[in-house]
Amino acid sequence: MFARWLPAAINTRPSEWSRAAIGMSLGTMFSVWLCSQVFGMEVAQHLIGPLGASAVLLFAVSSGALAQPWSILGGYLSAGVVSLLVAHVLGRTLGSACLAAGMALILMCWLRCLHPPAGALALLMVLADPATIALDWKALGPVMLSGSAMLLSALTYNNLTRIRYPKRASEPVAVVPADHPPVDSQAITAQDLKLALAEMEAFFDVTPEDLEQLIHISELHAKRRSIGDVFSHKS
């Protein structure tokens, strides 16, 4: 039971941690700075929490479904609209803030733009600072500006550091090397994985195409290992 609490191994190199950390710092700084130039530092700093959380996704796990462009833009827009609507109807209380976060989650799932930091954004927009409250519906401006600036930072930095971003939902699987055995009719495909994920009825921040590619690469490594074992036994 206690073993389940232990953290899983991270399959990335320290150099990738450094790359993501630098990108997160620069992206967050640029987003807050740009927002402050238009709407003031008080409003911009009020959004720094969700922006920092978004930066972790966009720079550290940019291949995940929760880190794609539509996720951050659609998530921020959904959270902003829902939270302002709830604030106008129910007032700015802790209960209405939590309700707004829950409603934003439902809307994001429906629009296929689930982005966890947007949940925090919904809470902050209801329990906003005086400067943000004074903007009323115009508060969507700093939300979308800062979110767009973060996305622009991720697009620029990730691709400059040789990390392909964004990742298309239907991106084809990498070409399997010629020495890989042909796929038979019983092999697992992306469609099979998609159906399996649907049956599990839970959120997984991975695409069926990623899983299919992982399976093919694993099969290739297994084949190479088995060939190596055969040669080692013969020698």
What is the percentage of the chain residues whose pLDDT exceeds 70? Answer: 71
pLDDT digits (tens, 9 = 90+) for 7-45: 766 667 888 999 999 999 999 999 999 999 999 999 999
Q: Answer yes or no: are the C-beta atoms of 96 and 87 closer than 8 Å.
A: yes
Q: Which pLDDT band holds residue 144 (cuts at 50, 70, 90)?
A: very high
Bond from prior residue into 130 cis (ω within 30 degrees of 0): no
> Looking at the predicted structure, is the pLDDT value of residue 69 above 90?
yes
pLDDT over 90 (residue 173): no
CB atoms near residue 147 (< 10 Å): 29
Torsion angle, alpha carbons of 147, 152, 157, 162, to 10 = 110
What is d(CA 102, CA 122) in angstroms, rounded to the nearest whole number?
9
**Averaged confidence pLDDT in the chain:** 84
The position carrying tokens 């994001």 is: 108
